[in-house]
Chain A
């Protein structure tokens, strides 16, 4: 590589989000039990567990002891009353809890172990063992559980609790095994498993240390639901009299209450406690389920932390984005001049987009003003977190509900000269406006085709929705015309999306976008997922169609060299703002903003002589923690003290030749830059603008 200067400084400072990592991570799992639901669930289950363990030791009454207190209502002597034999129901309940809990948990442990062994083996090994094990699992899945249990226990009536436990476990494991197999199958193909193999880990460790921990949530959920299932099954069996009716369990109490007509005597104390206990433990276990995900997934844990921090911060100060109030307040001198300059089809004025998450707000787009002239391509480039995609979504008003647009205008000028603000359109107007006037092609769009409909039908649907008066034949003709336009032969009209390559599918999306002759097409990384050759084919196609049909394009991408080739005008976004806007040629020949220069200096070139790559130090901005002053200042090679306090405005580049502007072209009308290097009144000494 031609330069070794840059590499070290990417030594990124860890971001604040990680301030006290040890605390966040080591005790992070405790956060799982923050929620009230989980705490309630835990308490319920714990109480039952304690009763099951210690209850029988503390209760002196023998539950089987017969007395003369027949069918007494609850009293101080008999806390839960007595049965037809004068047996103490409280004592029966205490002893019964132990049996029900033991059966429930032991059966669930056995079932979970079985499903783990089968699921992990089948999923990880694959091949023949997978086929055999899956077959067995599926057989067990279709066996109706309860009838089987009834038959099995019926054939060995005095086998005791152990037999019941085993029978329940055998009938309950299959569902969990199937879920775990599917999960293992998908985890096995994940990169981190491949990375572990490539670092020489043993299969055993890969299964138990890499794969299994990622399945903990499923295992735990399966376990808890099997506990509930087992307790219910045991109760049902006992209720039916299929277990030993003298071994007290909740089901046995119910069995006696039923056979002795407790209901007709009004002896509610006899059947309500066991019924309520079953319902309670079920509720408790289900509530615990809620906490499992957070308990296990480190990402969810710290997400919780972040929300809490944001909340604190919001309480302390109103300026949540971390930006100080702007020292200079003056509307960006953009819009009006631009509008006057020519045939502007879309004008964005001082647009802001906030993302609300919990109580915090992140400003993803901050005061963007741009204009798109008819028949031209406006390119917007930026890194992740620059706000370029948010901008695209806001222009089309497809932003998520969590995004809010506090200020701004997006003025659309129709071919007849009528101007409307997209942000003030009603939903109805908006529906007409989209596709008719403004169409969208997103990066993921090619995966947005409905897999079960032929592509011709999907294009036709788009037309039919907006042109109900069109006859079916006209629509067909239009579909054929559109497909030819985007370079797909018309005999593919009846193809399904999966029969087309990624490039072809993206062409179909472009055809749909063109279907109603829109004035503007917004394209957000339309070719990023495609190979270079296919990308070139599609870009050439778009440009050719643009020249022929005369629409305008807003093209959003991170690929600056592509943008320079195809755009007329380029806007560079950084941390939600436009830092430079210029014609593509001016921009390429003489980028003004240090960030722009860094971007240009990051691209290896193919033709011409090799040049030195300078790159940019540091990492892309974190919108939740922007520095004060210029957002780029921590990465800027020309940074001054002032940059860290004063926020630069996007202003036209001064015409007077400055030491920092290397080429005269940079001062051509239209170039606007948000950098203090060009805005200080005193001659910029700092402007040793470091281009090497």
Chain B
């Protein structure tokens, strides 16, 4: 990860291998306070996200894969500034931003838009589609006439392939199908003309046959608008097809990352391997050994010391419960936080210069 001088302009510095990240989270930790019980003096927190570094690049899809409770949705909400980090920084185009509300949040969400998982819940049942889209347009493109707003709405709906627009704008959310609503969610996000889309499980509640259409729509928008897209999912197979970079999250920490194909085909972290072995896959050799795992993720109020996966890990060594592993670089941008890869160089030790 190349860190950027906060004054730097968008032009990529010559020394860096890749373009500057559009949106970045650097060493971000988020703790949620647990309601104290009577006579309980300790201040307890849920360690929802711990020391996460993540960078989103224009024109690229970055996947965060994890199970429920892994903190992946919190990552999206931190990036959307709906939560403020306990420590660490959110950087937009290299500049640290803290926008808890008001005008600063409004300006920020003009750049970074969130798409939620539930196409049924993310629309207010008492308002029409036109209201939902119109609000975002009026907030982020102030001073437009009604006719301009209407035209913009029609353009947006056409961009998510819902035509003719008039057949959708006058409707209430419940009158549309799940797939249509998720397209409108995307249109709503685009209304702000953002540089970054944060998609939190955008297709997991849709029927199998229409998931692909929505994912392809997102992929096209990434290409056409040069968007940076964060794709949060529990479905590691979809990340393989859809993302450029994949990261795997476990118990609030990123445990592995790299090019999506590498992460899914040559998983380095035992947790990623477990995820892959657990996922349904008709192509897999039926005789292949099944994971013997019987445990479940740890409590995030009192997470295990050292590597958080060590109580479940089939390869756990004494060191694993004592010391949290750093990132080890496995080459080609592939890395894992696992002591099994200690022979590889810790990534931090690598010079941040261009490779041939």
Contact = CB atoms under 8 A, between A and B. Distances in A.
Interface in B25-82: 67-68, 80, 82
Given A191-B121, A537-B293, A615-B209, A18 B167 contact: yes
B313 interface: no
B208 A603 contact: yes
Interface string B111-142: 00110111001111111100000011001100
Given A192-B121, A602-B209, A606-B236, A536 B291 contact: yes
A313 to B, nearest CB: 18
Interface in A1-32: 1-4, 6-12, 14-15, 17-18, 21-22, 25-26
B355 interface: no
A503 interface: yes
Contact of B114 (A195, A532, A607): A195
A533 B282 contact: no
A503 B125 CA distance: 33
Contact of B180 (A209, A598, A605, A619): A619
Interface stretch (A138-146, A297-305, A331-339): A297-305
B179 interface: yes
Contacts of A213: 124, 126-127
Nearest to A198: B114
Interface stretch (B14-22, B147-155, B272-280, B330-338): B272-280
A110 to B, nearest CB: 26
A442 B171 CA distance: 34
Given A12-B180, A213-B126, A199 B216 contact: no
B177 A6 contact: no
A25 B161 contact: no
Given A21-B167, A200-B140, A532 B172 contact: no
Given A10-B179, A199-B136, A1 B215 contact: yes
B192 interface: yes
Given A14-B168, A198-B109, A610-B240, A620 B122 contact: no
A642 interface: no
A209 B275 CA distance: 43
Given A302-B172, A383-B208, A561 B282 contact: yes
Given A4-B216, A605-B283, A536 B278 contact: yes
B281 A605 contact: yes
A531 B68 contact: yes
Contacts of B188: 195, 199
Contacts of B281: 561, 565, 605-607
B12 to A, nearest CB: 26
Contacts of A531: 67-68, 234
Contact of A619 (B135, B210, B278, B296): B210
A533 B283 contact: no
Contacts of B161: 7-8, 10-11
Interface string B171-194: 110111111100101001101100
A37 to B, nearest CB: 23
Contacts of B67: 531-533
Interface string B272-307: 001111111111100000110110100000000000
Contacts of A18: 167, 171, 175
A425 B298 CA distance: 48
Nearest to B67: A531
Contact of A299 (B135, B174, B177): B174
B242 interface: yes
Contacts of A413: none
A254 interface: no
B139 A532 contact: no
A613 B212 contact: yes
A199 B192 contact: yes
B192 to A, nearest CB: 7
A533 B234 CA distance: 11
A200 B172 contact: no
A1 B60 CA distance: 11
Contacts of B124: 192, 196, 210, 213-214
Contacts of A605: 237, 281-283
B345 interface: no
Given A561-B282, A610-B240, A298 B174 contact: yes
Interface string A569-598: 000000000000000000010000000001
Contacts of B240: 604, 606, 610
A537 B292 CA distance: 8
Interface residues of B, number: 86
A197 interface: yes
Interface string B309-347: 000000000000000000000000000000000000000
A501 interface: yes
B163 interface: yes
B220 interface: yes
B180 A21 contact: no
Contact of A608 (B82, B220, B242, B283): B283
B96 interface: no
Interface string A405-446: 000000000000000000000000000000000000000000
A588 B286 CA distance: 14
A503 to B, nearest CB: 7
Contact of A296 (B126, B135, B234, B274): B126
A572 to B, nearest CB: 11
Contacts of B264: 606
B212 A610 contact: no
B116 A298 contact: no
Contact of A192 (B122, B219, B236, B294): B122
Given A4-B220, A21-B171, A610-B241, A195 B212 contact: no
A505 B230 CA distance: 33
A487 interface: yes
A68 B172 CA distance: 66
Interface in A270-326: 296-299, 302
Given A3-B216, A21-B175, A200-B192, A565 B241 contact: no
Contacts of A15: 177
A535 interface: yes
Nearest to A216: B126
Contacts of A6: 212-213, 216
B1 interface: no
A675 to B, nearest CB: 17
Contacts of A21: 167, 170-171, 175
A200 B167 contact: no
Interface centre among B180, B274, B281 (most CB of A within 10 A): B281
A558 interface: yes
A201 interface: yes
Nearest to B167: A14
Given A194-B82, A610-B261, 20 more contacts: A4-B220, A7-B213, A25-B172, A199-B188, A200-B192, A210-B127, A213-B126, A299-B125, A503-B296, A532-B275, A537-B293, A537-B294, A559-B208, A564-B282, A602-B211, A605-B237, A606-B264, A616-B209, A619-B180, A635-B209
18 contacts: A1-B219, A7-B161, A11-B161, A12-B179, A25-B171, A190-B121, A194-B116, A199-B136, A199-B140, A199-B189, A205-B135, A487-B294, A535-B278, A561-B280, A602-B209, A602-B212, A606-B240, A606-B284
Interface of A: 1-4, 6-12, 14-15, 17-18, 21-22, 25-26, 190-192, 194-201, 203, 205, 209-210, 213-214, 216, 296-299, 302, 383-384, 487, 501, 503, 531-537, 540, 558-562, 564-565, 588, 598-599, 602-608, 610, 613, 615-617, 619-620, 635
- Closest CB pairs A-B (n = 4): A10-B213, A7-B216, A615-B212, A536-B278
